[in-house]
Amino acid sequence: MNIGKTIRHVITAAGLAWLGGMPTLSQASVVIGATRVIYAAKEPEVTLRLTNPGPAPALVQAWVDSGDTSSAPSNVHVPFIVTPPMSRIDPSKAQTLRIVYTGEPLPTDRESVFWLNVLDIPPKPSAEEADSNKIQLAFRTRIKLFFRPIGLKGKPEEAPAQLSWQLIHKDGKLAIQTHNPTPFHVSLTEVHVHSDGQVASFDEGDMVGPGKTRVFPLKGQAADTPGASVRHRALNDYGGPIEGETLLRPHAKNPPP
């Protein structure tokens, strides 16, 4: 099945329906049973439950990519197999996806991250529905798939507290630079810098990889003053919040690139 062609056809049909008058919208019906997948290297496979609480059957395609949102399932090269790659989920029924690591070498000293895609394709409209103004859209959901080697030092839930933070200016604008010294990925949902009654924030969400340094733009005002701190919220393995507060690192004369 050509997934790109399928999406184009669905969107084109939606556009034609819109031109014909005010349409109704056919929404996604499949619910994914997690917000992220953790694949421990010692496990032969991991599973993920999909359910369809909607009134109509759903056609689902699932695959893993390495980060390119435009890559089609037939063009990706990743060390994982998802079965079944295509399935029909009837109303009030469920389907279990099996994700299997195929053994190609991955780093053993840090986590690797991939993306699991779940495409929810609505059923073909009936003859009666085809004559009405109804938009049908295919919905694709992408969630992170973390491959976690055996024997990594530390615990993933402790990684956010080990980030170091520093106020900098990038392109003439205030920003916060953070470094992750741990072997785990840290998914941040918000960051707030507090200094002398001022607050500057980054609330768009992003991820800091193992051993990586990232720079996030800030909205608001803050200064590198004694006692200035960073309050941050990250996500644990289950998608729940991990909140913490860390003092700003003193400004370095030669900050890392």
Decide: pTM greater than 0.85. Answer: no
Would you state the pLDDT for residue 142?
96
Looking at CATH, the fold of the domain delimited by 156-247 is given as Immunoglobulin-like (2.60.40)
> What is the spatial distance between Cα 28 and Cα 120, in angstroms, rounded to a whole number?
6
Q: Where are the domains of the chain?
A: 3-148, 156-247
Would you state the pLDDT for residue 6?
41
Q: Give the residue with greater pLDDT, 26 vs 184.
A: 184
- For 150, counting Cβ atoms within 10 Å of its Cβ (0-12 exposed, 13-18 middle, 19+ buried), the class is exposed
The pLDDT of residue 136 is above 60: yes
The pLDDT of residue 2 is above 50: no
Residue 120 — pLDDT band, cuts 50, 70, 90?
Answer: very high
Residue 129 — pLDDT band, cuts 50, 70, 90?
Answer: low
The pLDDT of residue 69 is above 70: yes
> Residues 220-240: what's their mean pLDDT?
95
Would you state the pLDDT for residue 217?
97
Would you state the pLDDT for residue 150?
97
Q: Write b or e for each residue in 126-137: b if 16 or more Cβ atoms lie within 10 A of its Cβ, otherwise e.
A: eeeeeeeebbbb
Q: Which CATH number fits domain 3-148: 2.60.40.10, 3.40.1790.10, 1.10.287.610, 2.40.420.20?
A: 2.60.40.10
Q: Write b or e for each residue in 208-222: b if 16 or more Cβ atoms lie within 10 A of its Cβ, otherwise e.
A: bbbeebbebebeeeb
Contact 138, 121 (CB under 8 A): yes
Would you state the pLDDT for residue 20?
42
Would you state the pLDDT for residue 128?
62
**DSSP 3-state assignment of 220?**
strand
Residue 134 — pLDDT band, cuts 50, 70, 90?
Answer: low
The pLDDT of residue 27 is above 50: yes
Q: Give the residue with greater pLDDT, 154 vs 20.
A: 154
Would you state the pLDDT for residue 15?
38
Q: Give the residue with greater pLDDT, 1 vs 216.
A: 216
DSSP state at residue 157:
G
> What is the spatial distance between Cα 86 and Cα 97, in angstroms, rounded to a whole number?
10
The pLDDT of residue 95 is above 90: yes
Detail the DSSP E strand segments found in 112-210: 112-121, 134-136, 139-148, 164-170, 173-179, 186-195, 198-202, 206-208
pLDDT above 90 coverage of the chain, percent: 73
